[in-house]
Chains A and B, each alone.
Chain A
Amino acid sequence: MVLGNYKTAVSARAADPEILKYSQDGGIVTQLFAYALEEGIIDGAIVAGPGDEPWKPEPVVATTKEELLAARGTRYTISPNMMLIKEATRSYGLDKVGIVGTPCQMQAVRKAQLYPMAMRKVPDKIALAIGIFCMENFPYQGLETIVEDHCKTKMESAVKMDIGKGKFSVYTERGALSQIPLAATHKYEQPGCHVCLDYVANLADVSTGSVGSPDGWSTVFVRTKKGEDVWTKAINAGYFETKDIADVKPGLDLVTKLATGKIDKNKKTLEERATMGVGKGLRNPYI
C-alpha cells in the first residue's frame, strides 16, 4: 500500500487565521499541536524552530503556542528533530512528547519505540507524531545554492519557499516570485533521500502535506488510534475546517501517483546500489 495504513483521509485547514498566516499549507501541524498542548494531550512538541541563519531550522522543544507559531512553515533543509527526543523527556521533563518530522524521521521515532536500545524512557512518552509528506530534502548549502544562485534571491529576503506543480518557488518580502523548474534542483538533493521508500509518512499518527488539496488546504491521513483520538477531538472542538477528500481536486489520485513514483524510483536506486555495476555494491538499510 503506497499510502500506508490510515483510518481516514480528509482535506483540511486550521480554523485559526493567526496560524494560517504563516503556515506552509493548511496549518495542520501547528494547529493540531496547539490543540494538543491546550488539552494536555502533549506537554510540548519537537518542531523545527528558527535557527541562527535564515531558513536554517534548529530543532526546539516548543512548550507554548508562541513557540509553535515561530516554527510554522517549511524549511526545505535538514532539521534533525530526533536529536531532541531523549532530551525532551529529560531536561524538559516532558511525559507526553509531540514530534513533527519527515517520513524518515517518523521511521526513526518508531524504531526508537520498538528497538529502544539507547532510548531509555522514550518509547511510552511519544504522545503524538505528526509526519509531513516529503519527496526529498536538501542540505543547507544545497538550498542556499538553489535560492541564491538559481532563483537569484537572497536567503534573508525570502518569506516563503514552496515546491509544487513541478516548480521550486521563492516568494520575497517585496512581493516578487522567483521560480525554477524542480528538475534544476535534483542535483542538490541529499543523497540519503534516494533510498527513501515513504512519501506520506506511513508511520506517523497523523500525516499531512499539500499534495492532493487546493492551495491553502492540506491533505491529512489519520493513521493510528492515538492519531484518530486527537484528530476527532480537535474536529469536534472546531479547530479545523474539513472537506471530503473525494470532493477536492486533484485529490488522492495525485498523492498515490507521486508516492508510487517516489517508491519506484528509489527502489530502482536500491537495486542499482546493490551492484553499482561492478558486483561490489553498497549497503541496503532495509535488509
Chain B
Amino acid sequence: MGLLSRLKEIFTGEDKESGKKPVKIPVVDQEKSGPVKPVEETVEKPMVKPADVKTEQKLDGEIKEEKPVVNKITVGHVHMSGCTGCLVSLADNYEGLFKILDDYADLVYCLTLADVRHIPEMDVALVEGSVCLQDECSVREIKETREKAKVVVALGGCAAYGNITRFCRGGQWNQPQHESFVPIGDLIDVDLYIPSCPPGAEAIRNVCVMAYLLLQGTDEQKELAAAYLKPLMDLAKKGTEACGCDLMVDVINQGLCMGCGTCAASCPVRAITIEYGRPNIDREMCIKCGACYAQCPRSFFNFDVMNQFEGIIEAIDGAMGKGGE
C-alpha cells in the first residue's frame, strides 16, 4: 500500500523546520498498551504558529523544506438560511478543528469566527443553509460564492436538498415575505454534497482532509482524494431533491436493499423503522435531509476506497494528530 504509507508519511512526517520530534502516530503502540484516551498525544501545541516561528529560526544543515506543511488551502463557511447546526458540527471536531486550521486550511470567511464582511476568493466554500429567494442579499451572496470559490460544497441537508426549509410558509417576524427557500443547487452549480441534518463532524473533517489532498497533495494523494470525493460529487450531480422515498425508489424498487438497517440509524428524526426487513418511511416525519439514502451502502459503495478503510482511517487519524475530535 505505497499510496497510504506515503500519505501517512506526509501527514505524520517530520516537522523539519522547527526541529521538533516527528509527530508519531502511535496506532500500533497504542493498541499494544491497551485502550487509551484520544488525548494521549504528547506533542504540545506551539505557542506561536509554526509559520511565525519560521522567520526567527536559524536553519543549520541543509534543510530545504521551509514550510511546516505544503500550502494551506483557503476555506470559507458561507451562511445561508440554516440553523448553524452545520457550523456547530464543524466545530465539534474539537482539537481536530484546530489541527485543520493550524496545518491544512485558513478560514478566510466565517460568520462569528472570522471578521470578514465580503465573500473573498477561496479554494473551498462550505455553504450552509438554503437560499431565500425573497432575500436579495442571499441570492447575491450565493452567486458570488460560486464566482469566488474553486469548490462549492453544500454542507448539510438544507444546502443540498432544502431539508426542513422546504416546509417554510413565510409569515415570520420580521420578514413575513420570506417564504421560498431553495437548495443552493437550484441557483448555482454545486461540486459536492455532504448530506444529513446536521452532517457528522467526522464527515466534514474527512472531506476537509481529502479536499486538501486534492488541491495540495502528490499525484497519488490526489488520486485517492478524487476517488473518495467522487460519490459525493455524484450526489451533487444527481439533483436537489431528497426524501426517505429515495430508498424506496432507488434501493428497494431496484432490488438492492438487503435490510442492514443503516438508514434507520441515520435518520435524524427517526422517520424510518424496519418492517419485514425493509425500511418503512413515515413520510409525514421526513424532513428531506438526504441522510438515509447517502448513508445506505446500496446507494453507492466505493470499492476503491472502502477496501482500503484501515489505511485511510489511520491516515486521517494521523492527519488529525490522532483522535480527530
B258 in the interface (beta carbon within 8 A): yes
Interface residues contributed by chain A, number (CB under 8 Å): 58
B255, B266, B298, B310: the one contacting A225 at CB < 8 Å is B310
Residues of A within 8 A of B262 (CB): 82-83, 85, 108, 111-112
How far is it, in angstroms, between the C-alpha of A193 and the C-alpha of B260 when the chains are bound?
Answer: 11
Minimal beta-carbon separation of A111 from chain B (angstroms): 5
CB pair B307–A202 under 8 Å, yes or no, is: yes
B245 contacts the other chain (Cβ, under 8 Å)?
no
A93 to chain B, nearest CB (A): 16
Q: Is A241 an interface residue (CB 8 A)?
A: no
Q: Verify B257–A112 contact, CB threshold 8 A.
A: no
Looking at A80, A112, A191, A225, which has the most chain B CB atoms within 10 Å of its CB? A80
Residue among B27, B277, B301 making CB contact with A190, cutoff 8 Å: B277
Number of residues of chain B lying within 8 A (CB) of chain A = 62
**Least CB distance, B112 to chain A, in whole angstroms:** 22
* CB–CB B201/A120 < 8 A: yes
Interface hits, B259-304 → A, CB 8 Å = 259-262, 264-268, 274, 276-277, 289, 291-292, 294-295, 297-303
* CB interface residues, B 1-45, toward A, < 8 Å: 27-28, 31-32, 35, 38
Contact between chains at A80 and B38 (CB < 8 Å): no
Which among B198, B259, B309 is the interface contact of A113 at CB below 8 angstroms? B309
Among A12-20, A149-157, A278-286, the one that faces the other chain is A278-286
Please, what's the 1-or-0 string for A68-86, where 1 marks a CB less than 8 Å from any CB in chain B? 0000000001101111111
B259 touches A78 (CB 8 A): yes
B250 touches A283 (CB 8 A): yes
Is B312 touching A82 in the complex (CB atoms < 8 A)? Answer: no
Q: What residues of B have a CB within 8 angstroms of the CB of A104 in the complex? A: 258, 260, 297
B309 touches A118 (CB 8 A): no
Contact A285 B310 (CB under 8 A): no
Q: Which residues of B contact A102 (CB under 8 A)?
A: 258
- The proximity string for B residues 139-173 relative to A, scoring 1 for CB distances below 8 Å and 0 otherwise, is 00000000000000000000000000000000000
Which B residues are in CB contact (< 8 Å) with A123?
200, 202, 313
Q: Mark A96-137, 1 if CB is under 8 A from B, else 0.
A: 100001101101101111111111111110000000000001
Residues of A134-161 at the interface with B, using a CB-CB cut-off of 8 Å, are 137, 139-141
Q: Which residues of A contact B259 (CB under 8 A)?
A: 78, 80, 137, 139, 190, 192
Contact with B along A176-208 (1 / 0, CB 8 A): 000000000000001111111000001100000
Residues on A with C-beta less than 8 A from B307 are: 5, 202-203
Q: Does B76 contact A (CB under 8 A)?
A: no
Closest chain A residue to B322, Cβ basis:
A124
Interface flag for A164 (CB, 8 Å) = no
In contact, A192 and B268 (Cβ under 8 angstroms): no
Q: Which of A83, A96, A192 contacts B256 (CB 8 A)?
A: A192
- In the complex, the chain B residue whose C-beta lies closest to that of A1 is B307
Pick the contact of B294 from A41, A105, A117 — CB < 8 Å? A117
User: Do A115 and B256 touch (CB < 8 A)?
Assistant: no
**Contact A83/B202 with A40-B35, A104-B297, A191-B255 known, Cβ cut-off 8 Å:** no
Q: Is the CB of B264 within 8 A of A83?
A: yes
Instruction: Assess whether A59 is interfacial by the CB under 8 Å rule.
Output: yes
CB-defined contacts of A5 to chain B, threshold 8 Å: 307
Q: Which residues of B contact A191 (CB under 8 A)?
A: 255-256
Q: Mark A259-282, 1 if CB is under 8 A from B, else 0.
A: 000000000000001000000001
Give the residue of B32, B206, B260, B324 whose beta carbon is less than 8 angstroms from that of A108: B260
Nearest 8 CB-CB pairs, A to B? A80-B261, A83-B261, A78-B277, A118-B266, A118-B291, A192-B258, A78-B259, A118-B196
A-B contact pairs, 12 of them (CB 8 A): A80-B261, A81-B260, A116-B206, A117-B200, A117-B203, A117-B266, A118-B195, A118-B200, A119-B295, A120-B201, A195-B255, A195-B256
Task: Spell out B's residues near A (CB within 8 Å).
Answer: 27-28, 31-32, 35, 38, 89, 92, 194-196, 198-203, 206, 228, 231-232, 250, 254-262, 264-268, 274, 276-277, 289, 291-292, 294-295, 297-303, 305-307, 309-310, 312-313, 317, 323-325
Given A104-B260, A119-B266, 12 new contacts (CB under 8 A): A80-B274, A82-B260, A83-B274, A108-B260, A110-B309, A111-B297, A115-B203, A116-B200, A120-B202, A203-B306, A273-B255, A285-B299
